[in-house]
Amino acid sequence: GAVVSQHPSRVICKSGTSVKIECRSLDFQATTMFWYRQFPKKSLMLMATSNEGSKATYEQGVEKDKFLINHASLTLSTLTVTSAHPEDSSFYICSASTSGSTDTQYFGPGTRLTVL
Amino acid sequence: DQQVKQNSPSLSVQEGRISILNCDYTNSMFDYFLWYKKYPAEGPTFLISISSIKDKNEDGRFTVFLNKSAKHLSLHIVPSQPGDSAVYFCAASESEPGTYKYIFGTGTRLKVLA
């Protein structure tokens, strides 16, 4: 079955530093990858949609200069949180789709980011 | 391998009838389960959850049933309404203090026909 991994699973960093989170599709080619942020009430917020080889499409209210997304290959997308602040502490989840449709998405296990 | 599976990618139901969405899991360590609802161009929103100490949780028109021996959960929506048309994801986790680590299924698109 389709598997998506995320690395790291947990990261703790100091305020002002940058953190990179990787999302990999292990056994399939992901045409599209999605990045979500999970808030304490459990709902997921879609941050951006990335297609391989093109710029990511960010949702309204998401700062593209702060959350840098790169989708360099059909199996890898990265989210870099630049100049992280404590309010960026959250759970970040990626998902991958083979067709670009949001109906069938393979979710990664998530990355817990804590900014001190 | 997929630890949480939603084997039906789509489901159509007449308005007013019951919608039943199914989810199977393989990891016996999972003890907390959630259902999310997702509209197009939005992130999934939390709908209802159930812990493994229960076999049923009800919230208005939505009821989640858990069968631990079968490693199966289902979401019942009754009566179904056109506004329920969305993609539904189930998710599961092992209880771990301070974490929201969930394993998601691939989603089932529900279409409620007027």
Q: Which residue has the tokens 């100091």?
A: A14
Using the Cβ of A44 and the Cβ atoms of chain B, whether some distance falls under 8 Å is answered with yes
Closest chain A residue to the Cα of B33, Cα to Cα: A42
* Contact across the interface for A103 and B102, Cβ inside 8 Å: no
What is the spatial distance between Cα A48 and Cα B56, in angstroms, rounded to a whole number? 35
Instruction: Report whether pLDDT(A59) > 80.
Output: yes
Angle at A101 between CA A100 and CA A106, to 5 degrees: 85
Quick one: pLDDT band at residue A84, thresholds 50, 70, 90? very high
- B43 and chain A: CB distance < 8 Å anywhere? yes
Gap between the Cα atoms of A68 and A77, Å rounded: 10
Residue-by-residue pLDDT tens, chain B, 114 positions? 678 899 898 999 999 999 999 999 999 989 889 999 988 766 677 899 999 999 999 999 999 999 999 999 999 999 999 999 999 999 888 765 445 567 888 889 999 999
CB neighbours of residue B104 within 10 Å: 28
Nearest to B87 among A46, A102, A107 (CB): A102
Of B69 and A59, the structure prediction assigns the larger pLDDT to B69
The SS3 of residue B84 is helix
**Which residues of A are less than 8 Å from B11 in CB distance?**
none
What gap in Å lies between CA B54 and CA A69, rounded to an integer? 40
Note the pLDDT of residue B102.
73
